[in-house]
A and B are shown apart, each in its own frame.
Chain A
Amino acid sequence: MPTTTVALALAAAVLGLLAIAMGFVLGWASRKFHVAADPRVELLQAALPGANCGGCGYVGCSEYAGALAEGDTTVGLCAPGGGDCAQKLADILGVEVTESCPYRAVVHCSAHRDQRLQRADYDGERTCVSANLVAGVQGCTYGCLGFGDCAQACKYGAIEIVGGLSTINYEKCVGCGACSRVCPRNIITLVPFKAERMMVVACSNADAAADVRAVCEVGCIGCKACARVAPELVTMGGALPQINYDLYNPEESEALESVLEKCPRKRYLFVGRPTAEDLAAVADEELPEAVTADFKTTVDDTEWRG
């Protein structure tokens, strides 16, 4: 059957020729049109599956690789690639776990609803960020508003509003910082948990004693007693003490005890109890950028309105 033979040969030849031609043309083109790029992009791209499925939200693997190299996004968006792929990407980017202790969110307010004075009923959009735009929802302009923006933002269900106060469940908190980013009053910070229980200042009110007393039954009155007892551990930022966590040593319990004892308003609290399991769970995860304490009341950022 000569037809068969020829057809066979022709088919093979056509495909082979095409392959050669393509290889040649593309090889020539890639040299000719070469654009110098971040070498990591190519590595990243090689590590990605190349399915170009668009599932990561980027148009194709190469754009995702580009975004990764620029640091615009996180590894682990590639659904077809899965965890292995994410690990590889992380290796290429040199994303490492440098911190030895996990961060956990801390709410720097401890006044429950009935401990706050000058409260008013609020008719408006029931979110903290909106309520923060209305004066007089409560007397304290620093304290937790209790509408639960943080609870909404928490993907791990670790925040609950208890008695109008945002309360963190440290069994669930992984320290992603989502809550601290949405809090309009900036009273949630990430604290390095060197022990299962950490001492924190549970108030953010930076006003003078009389003003604090006028708005809160429990707020810190800036008496500086703590700073006198432990001058290294506690520094005063205006009328508000701040714990220096670099020097914080959970083993030196006397120092901590003395601070705790001295505080007339009992605004030093021990919070948290991350379990060993929790620690292990986040040990290999990329830690988010720490949010540093910024106790300015955010209403100062808003435009002056007459």
Chain B
Amino acid sequence: METLTALILIFIGAALINNFVLHYFVGICPFLGVSRRVDTAFGMGCAVTFVISISTLLNWTFTHFILRPGAPLPAWVWQSLGGSAQTQIDLSVLSYIIYIFVIASSVQFVEMYVRRFFPPLYKSFGVFLPLITTNCAILFASLEVLKHMQDSTELWGLPQALALALGGGIGFTLAIALMAGIREELDLCDVPRALRGAGIALIVAGIMAMAFMGFTGVEKGVETALGSLLR
């Protein structure tokens, strides 16, 4: 039960309270660049959610088995080379490189796969894939997971990692879809010339971030509420 609560909290946290875009500022580039039309924005959001889940899964696996201090793979190599069981091999310095490699190659793989076998899907969603490689939201999710895999007070397993990825992806989709709706509206508005484009988009994002600040403390409220409900 406690795990379930934790998962719910991680999910809500990533989607609403600490929304990736509006709170952590990751994924700003597509948030500003691909939010001119609602349909496109929604496609982008779905693609990000998909990729973020896949890459978090892969990166968690890499971290768990290779990169974290005391991971089984280097330990096995070390021991088979005759090292002592006490000493831990720490490869976490490679985390960043491996993460970005995994993200880039998985994106490319998925892109090629979808393009070959599901051309209509590629039309509507695959075209966003290359853009996602440089989307910091993906890397950020993996980094957050990494942080919690190094943190002794709250060790994350795969479910937690996926909850974060999914929440982050859905939160990104929500933010970019709202933004796109507003920007379609802004096309009909008499925005001062100097503000047109990125300027007004950022201010709208700022006001949206203000609105999302309203969710501050929801984690705590939900935690307490779930606690009392389950009791």
B76-118 Cβ-contact flags toward A at 8 Å (1 or 0): 0110010100010111011001100100010011001101110
The answer to whether A10 and B74 touch across the interface, beta carbons within 8 angstroms, is yes
Would you call the interface of chain B mostly helix, strand, loop, or mixed? helix
Residue of A nearest to B36 (CB): A57
Q: How many Å from the CB of B134 to the closest CB on chain A? A: 5
The answer to whether A34 and B116 touch across the interface, beta carbons within 8 angstroms, is yes
Q: Which of B33, B97, B101, B128 has the most CB of A within 10 A?
A: B33
Q: How many Å from the CB of A27 to the closest CB on chain B? A: 11
Q: How many Å from the CB of B131 to the closest CB on chain A? A: 4
The answer to whether A63 and B90 touch across the interface, beta carbons within 8 angstroms, is no
Contacts of B66 in A (CB 8 A): 14
A29-B93 Cα distance, complex, nearest whole Å: 29
Q: Tell me if A242 is interfacial: C-beta within 8 Å of chain B.
A: no
Cβ 8 A contact of A54, one of B30, B77, B90: B30
Residue of B nearest to A3 (CB): B87
Residue of B nearest to A12 (CB): B94
Q: Tell me if B56 is interfacial: C-beta within 8 Å of chain A.
A: no
The answer to whether A33 and B112 touch across the interface, beta carbons within 8 angstroms, is yes
A38-81 Cβ-contact flags toward B at 8 Å (1 or 0): 00000000000001111101011111000000000000000000
The answer to whether A63 and B127 touch across the interface, beta carbons within 8 angstroms, is yes
The answer to whether B109 and A29 touch across the interface, beta carbons within 8 angstroms, is yes
A32-B117 Cα distance, complex, nearest whole Å: 11
The answer to whether A60 and B109 touch across the interface, beta carbons within 8 angstroms, is no
Q: Tell me if B182 is interfacial: C-beta within 8 Å of chain A.
A: no
The answer to whether B89 and A35 touch across the interface, beta carbons within 8 angstroms, is no
From known contacts A54-B29, A54-B34, infer whether A7 and B113 are also in contact, taking CB-CB under 8 Å: no
Within 8 A of B (CB), among A76-95: none
From known contacts A11-B91, A14-B94, infer whether A35 and B128 are also in contact, taking CB-CB under 8 Å: no
Q: Tell me if A22 is interfacial: C-beta within 8 Å of chain B.
A: yes
Interface residues of B (CB under 8 A from A): 29-30, 33-34, 36, 40, 44, 66, 74, 77-78, 81, 83, 87, 89-91, 93-94, 97-98, 101, 105, 108-109, 112-113, 115-117, 127-128, 130-131, 133-134
